[in-house]
Amino acid sequence: MTRNLRRIQLAPAYILHHRPYRDTSRIFEVVSHDHGRLSLFARGVRGPKAKLASILQPFQLLLLSWTGRGEAAQLTGAESAQAAPPVPAPCLMAAFYLNELLMKLTTRHDPLPAVFDTYHETLESLRHGAPLERELRVFEKRLLEALGYGLDLDSEAQTGKPIEPDEYYHFRPEQGLVPTVAAATGALSSARKRSILIPSVRSS
């Protein structure tokens, strides 16, 4: 009966989302460095006597332990991995946006260490006042690359010329980056209708 029972000890992880379960429990959606995204059932973590309630918080690097098989893993322990300041209030929506991307775009039990590291680095940058828009765009770019949907943001689609940092480009689906001047003089195709005006992004 215990052949497929897994016991994981002190795995680096972040909480992405949580919801109440029965009277005193919660179901946590977490992303871990070595085990990917998964759901954990945590008993007795709600209420005034819950010992882990103050530890099980989003945007804090944790060391989680769990046991179980399949989708029914049970949280058995949690520790804080580092003393980190909270994400500043102006950056909270951006941090929740990162969580939403991981919830929607990653697959359960698919280890993506590079994505975990990028998420961790982005949170640290947000804590220390890095430019918000730049951090989000770099995270999106790296996430797409890790999922196999990387974009060529180094050269123009039609000419192969290097992207100029001070210029603006349209991104056309299935083509790539096109200078805005070329886009303005080109035919009004369906691809152009779906194009997005973006500033150039340096590779990161």
Q: What is the pLDDT of residues 124-148, one digit of tens each?
A: 999 998 999 999 999 999 999 999 8
- Please, which pLDDT band fits residue 182 given cuts at 50, 70 and 90? low
User: What are the sequence ranges of the domains in the chain?
Assistant: 6-80, 89-146, 152-198
- Above 90 in pLDDT, residue 97? yes
Residue of higher predicted confidence among 9 and 48? 9
* CA–CA dist 120, 25 (Å, integer): 27
- Above 90 in pLDDT, residue 74? yes
- According to CATH, the topology of domain 6-80 is OB fold (Dihydrolipoamide Acetyltransferase, E2P) (2.40.50)
Percent of the chain with pLDDT over 70: 86
For the question of whether the overall pTM of this predicted structure is more than 0.85, the answer is no
Three-state SS letters, the chain:
CCCCCEEEEEEEEEEEEEEEECCCEEEEEEEECCCEEEEEEECCCCCCCCCCCCCCCCCCCEEEEEEECCCCEEEEEEEECCCCCCCCHHHHHHHHHHHHHHHHHCCECCCCHHHHHHHHHHHHHHHCCCCHHHHHHHHHHHHHHHCCCCCCCCECCCCCCECCCCCEEEEECCCEEEEHHHHHHCCCCHHHHCCEEEECCCCC
- Above 90 in pLDDT, residue 123? yes
- Above 60 in pLDDT, residue 186? no
Report pLDDT for 191: 43
Report pLDDT for 166: 85
- Please, which pLDDT band fits residue 183 given cuts at 50, 70 and 90? low
What is the residue whose two structure tokens read 């099980």? 56
Report pLDDT for 188: 45
- Above 70 in pLDDT, residue 108? yes
- Above 50 in pLDDT, residue 202? no
